[in-house]
Structure 1
Amino acid sequence: MATSLRRVDDRADRLHIRLDRPEVRNAIDQTMVDELHEVCSELEARPRILILSGTERVFASGADIAQLRERGRDDALAGINSRLFLRIATLPMPVIAAVDGWALGGGAELAYAADFRLAGDNARFGNPEVGLGIIAAAGATWRLKELVGESLALEVLLAGRVLDAQEALAAGLVTEVHPPSALIAAADGLADRIAEQDPLAVRYTKRVFRAPREAHPDVDELAQSVLFESPAKRERMTDFLERKKR
């Protein structure tokens, strides 16, 4: 059975999924969308850190243009990619995108939906949709300005600017830049640091962080009220106090 994804690493605390359609530069087709929804279902039922990567020199080149050309109004309203990327963004545990090479169009929007973006020093981010007569409708029109600011986002979205790894780092789009050969190890290192924390506290922090401004401080207090009653809070604080005595 053909598949567009590969399980690179499957552990108790993380799942590493590689986009694997190198013959079409990891273009996001309906099969990949469906398979990523299956990954989301798995991680919603059993929350773990998700690492997303692509193949050598290509994270994802965007939506499959041959399929995109045939889509009509009803397909646009169905939000085929945008609903998937929203689901990925709202997974219970953090999502790490390890971007080696090109992340264009829908591929860039997939990376924008992650909580963390790490880049190879050959990474390139761009949204060329207006050149194809459409808009970047799977998150770039609102996520990108939140990530890099309005002026730079507009230059990417309207003027076809492509950001290289160092520009993305300076703009805050990525948090780390590594040689491509070290990129997955760096993503695992970040996952290791997250995995050392209390999983429930990580989940609530992600949810509260993404809550709208008007939801605060109520949402913070509700989350804290749950965590204050958790066994992990008492155990971790007791361990901290015991270590402090030594």
Structure 2
Amino acid sequence: MSGLRIEEYPDRLVVTLDRPEKRNAIDADLVAELHGVCAELEARPRLLLLTGGTAGIFAGGADIGQLRDRGRLDALAAINAGVFARIRALPLPTVAAVDGPALGGGAELAYACDLRVCTARAFFGQPEVRLGIIAGAGATHRLPALVGEARAKELLFTGRRVDAAEALRIGLVNRVVEEPDGLLPSANELLDEMAKGSTLALRLTKLAVDAPPAAHPHLDLVSQAVLFEDEEKRRRMTEFLERRRSR
């Protein structure tokens, strides 16, 4: 049985984790399905909205039953880390819409997205050290980039949970909506704003922001050179000048 519900639109995919009986725990089957989503978005780039829906759960973490039985070769295979890195590297921006808990691997899945929107009842946490492992699917480097090294270390060392208000204050999420019914509209609103831009400019902007410091300013210059020759750039700028003249 599929662990994902996928809705296709011309400019985006809306992907909903759909294992409510397992609190959307991330198991090997779900990882395989997420790889399928990535393959689709790599072949035909579109925006991505990733959510657990509005039933009070985003993802309760990795499937502990499977995790308990994994050995060192499984760890080296980067089962969860590999698909989260692939989500992070998707050509166009991604938004995680989080309702309820995003814990362990579930939180790392949210961090892999470019932006995060959550409900007031959402919370995030990395309890891995209490289970005898590390947060090995991205939190050790993505969380410091989001909230700073010292705060990330506190959260990783203690397993303390972060509620929605704190998540907004420390920059872990971009928006908090009070009611669950407002979650997906708010996330789609963010994507709607992105969709107003040039797809190629959006793609190259993401590539530049995610690039290592050593790539700058060379990557910026090459990206701009490509865009300066793009016909859509000329069209958009012509329309802008015409609107300004008509005022």
TM-score range, shorter chain: over 0.9
TM-score, with structure 1 as normaliser: 0.98
Deviation at 1:218, TM superposition (A): 0.3
TM-score, with structure 2 as normaliser: 0.98
Q: What do the CA deviations read for 1:171-194 (whole angstroms, capped 9, x no partner)?
A: 001010002110000011111100
Check if 1:25 corresponds to 2:23: yes
Residue identity over aligned pairs, in percent, reads 57
Deviation at 1:19, TM superposition (A): 0.3
1:1-246 paired onto structure 2 within 5 Å? 2-7=1-6, 9-55=7-53, 56-178=55-177, 179-246=179-246
Deviation at 1:240, TM superposition (A): 0.5
CA RMSD of superposed structures (Å): 0.6
2:58 aligned counterpart, secondary structure:
strand
Unaligned 5+ segments in structure 2 are: none
Query: Structure 1 segments of 4 or more deviating over 3 A?
Result: none
- 2:240 aligned partner, one-letter code: F
1:119 aligned counterpart, secondary structure:
strand
1:200 aligned counterpart, secondary structure:
helix
1:103 aligned counterpart, secondary structure:
strand
Q: What do the CA deviations read for 1:16-66 (whole angstroms, capped 9, x no partner)?
A: 000000001000000100000000000000000000000411100110000
Name the CA distance, whole Å, in 2 between partners of 1:236 and 1:121: 38
Deviation at 1:88, TM superposition (A): 0.1
1:58 aligned counterpart, secondary structure:
coil
Number of equivalences: 244
Deviation at 1:152, TM superposition (A): 1.4
Name the CA distance, whole Å, in 1 between partners of 2:154 and 2:180: 27
Name the CA distance, whole Å, in 2 between partners of 1:213 and 1:191: 27
